[in-house]
Amino acid sequence: MAGQSLNKDGIVEFGGFEVVYVSGQRGQPIPEQAPAAFGALEARLPTLKKKRFYGVVIDGAYRACVAVDDDTRRLDLPRWVIPSGRYAVGKIADWERHRDAIGPTVAALRDRSDFDATRPLIEFYRSQSELRLLAPVV
């Protein structure tokens, strides 16, 4: 995973890089916002190959994000920097078939005693077969 180094406790140093994003419709359920936001983001990209995709919820709106690279640098989309720091990692294999596992996994990560509520939880779509959920920790 770009910008990360995993230690034996499943904690990574992650973030500090810029993304462009499309926001979902605040007020709608997150499971409805996410696919709509990703559909709008992907429609703006010349290719999906070699892209690093992320998802995050900020103030009730889902942000579908892609790391800035040569293709995305020129897009007229809002920019944001994923906060750097320590994150606990949860993984969901074959996530497209197990979307129902995302909510419970996020809830379990948020229940950690070291969860840092000052930073958002990040979804990293490592591939079509693996989703990594990164919960900020102190």
The span from the CA of 24 to the CA of 130, in Å, is 22
* Average pLDDT of the chain to the nearest whole number: 90
Residue 55's nearest CA partner among 40, 72, 34 is: 34
Query: Which pLDDT belongs to residue 4?
Result: 47
Residue 19's nearest CA partner among 39, 35, 43, 2 is: 2
45 contacts 70 by C-beta, under 8 angstroms: no
In the chain, domain spans = 1-16+84-138, 18-52+60-81
4 contacts 14 by C-beta, under 8 angstroms: yes
Which amino acid, residue 83? P
DSSP bridge pairs for 122: 56, 134
> pTM score > 0.75 for this model?
yes
Q: What is the mean pLDDT of residues 65-76?
A: 93
The span from the CA of 75 to the CA of 116, in Å, is 32
Coil, helix or strand for 75?
coil
Query: Which pLDDT belongs to residue 9?
Result: 60
H helices present in 3-58, as ranges: 30-44
pLDDT digits 0-9 by tens, 79-110? 999 999 999 999 998 888 888 898 899 999 99
CA 6 to chain centre: 17
Contacts of 37 (CB under 8 A, 6+ apart): 21, 22, 23, 24, 55, 62, 63, 64
Q: What is the mean pLDDT of residues 38-50?
A: 94
